Structure 1
Amino acid sequence: MTNPRNPQAVNGRPFDAVLCDLDGVIRFYDMTELTRMEQAAGLAEGTTAKVALAPGNDLPVLRGEHTVEQWIEAIASELAARVPAERARELATMFTRTPFRADENVVEMLRLAQAHVPVVLVTNATLDVEDDLALLGLAYFADDVVNSARIGVVKPDARIYEIAAERAGVPMDRCLFVDDRAENVEAAVALGMTGVVYGAIADLEEALAPLLALATP
């Protein structure tokens, strides 16, 4: 956990807001069926994801410039150079509909934090993320959701962090930022936030411990 300014606690709190990534921290995907389809098509595991997440394909949808259907078309068009067009579209569609789940332990940790400070989700996601949160039972979980597709800015652009801090209603140097990608955390730290690169729930537990200790008699 890093913060270059290391601000002193205010009113006993080490920070006044938790800004948290969604994918890779709260939400996780089951790639089993997509992997099976890739193997059946003679493709290496992860091929579809590599195509889908290439900047030219994913940035337009993450900035809200393209719909998920347009994303599917872009993925399928590229895959069609390797497999029949029908199979390419099946793979692209499956990628965008991969089953997912929420890590309930992470959600519970964030709920505990929410008793003290606002929790804002900060995610590079599609225009469907609100529906996805509803499917996870988290439609009303966060105090706010900063979705790149709604604001047209993706992490690690500084503006998305500024918007998140504004939504939380606290200065940036009073925010804890949690993300599974180091470059996103580094960008937050450069703006004065306390940053945590998430690899396992122990990372979140350690970061939140000083805050949650306030509830201990």
Structure 2
Amino acid sequence: MPQAIVFDLFGVIALHQSVEDKQRLEGLAGVAPPAFWEAYWALRKPYDAGQTSVDYWSTMGARLGVTFDAATVKALIDADLASWTGVDPRMVDLLGELSTAGRTLGLLSNIIEDLVPVFEAKHGGWLSRFQARTYSCQIGVAKPDLEAYRIAASRLGVEPRDCIFIDDNENNVRAARETGMQAEVFTSPDQVRRLLAV
């Protein structure tokens, strides 16, 4: 049994953006898909690694050939942050069970700096069950950079080989395995229960 269980956040515990969230962002930007989302994701890695929200949306505008005024930038930031705060209650319940059973829990998330306080304010109760929360924006590297996994393990006081990592992104799972972690692509809470024999 691995000493520590390291979870990804978005797509595992937290939910991806809804259709309505996406449409709101497109409307605020005045840019239709697929151009909006191609730029949104192409520019995300520096944002996850600590770039400011204002700089991100300025770069987005430049890439899309539009200029966002200050009010639009603020509206885009607020809508984007809000779009990433939903969670799967089944996974929250599972975290509670694991914590109560004395399992060592870690979080390794690609997350932008401005979202951290918003997400933690809304979900601080169950987030407190993690012995270490490793956020890309605070360590300066994002998955699948191998250093991110090593830092996450180190913060839990274990080696990567002592961890099982669960993420919904196959590239991130492959990278975790390169560090020596056992790693699995997330499909459902029931799958996690089977993996961890909960």
Q: 2:32 aligns with which of 27, 33, 43?
A: 43
Secondary structure in structure 2 of the residue aligned to 1:196: strand
Q: 2: distance between equivalents of 1:49 and 1:205?
A: 34
Please report the TM-score for the alignment, with normalisation by the length of structure 2: 0.83
CA deviations on 1:40-86 (whole Å, 9 max, x unpaired) are 94723x543321210xx22222111x21222122223333x2x6746
Larger helix fraction of residues: 2
CA deviations on 1:162-197 (whole Å, 9 max, x unpaired) are 111111112222211000101111111122211110
Please report the TM-score for the alignment, with normalisation by the length of structure 1: 0.76
**Structure 2: which 5+ runs fail to align?**
none
| Aligned residue runs from structure 1 range 168-179, under 5 A | 168-179=156-167
Report if aligned partners of 2:146, 2:178 keep a CA contact under 8 Å in 1.
Answer: no
CA deviations on 1:63-111 (whole Å, 9 max, x unpaired) are 11x21222122223333x2x67469758843334425311111122122
Q: 2: distance between equivalents of 1:42 and 1:188?
A: 36
Match of 1:191 in 2: 179
Secondary structure in structure 1 of the residue aligned to 2:36: helix
Match of 2:107 in 1: 121
Residue 52 to residue 153, structure 1, CA distance change in 2 (3 Å): same
Percent of residue pairs bearing the same amino acid type:
26
Q: Which entry has the higher C-alpha Rg, 1 or 2?
A: 1
Match of 2:92 in 1: 107
CA deviations on 1:22-42 (whole Å, 9 max, x unpaired) are 111111133404325637947
Instruction: State the aligned residue count.
Output: 191
Q: 1: distance between equivalents of 2:40 and 2:92?
A: 28
Residue 75 to residue 167, structure 1, CA distance change in 2 (3 Å): same
Q: Which letter does structure 1 place at the counterpart of 2:44? A: D
Is 1:77 aligned to 2:77, yes or no?
no
Is 1:16 aligned to 2:15, yes or no?
no
Secondary structure in structure 1 of the residue aligned to 2:83: coil
Is 1:60 aligned to 2:46, yes or no?
yes
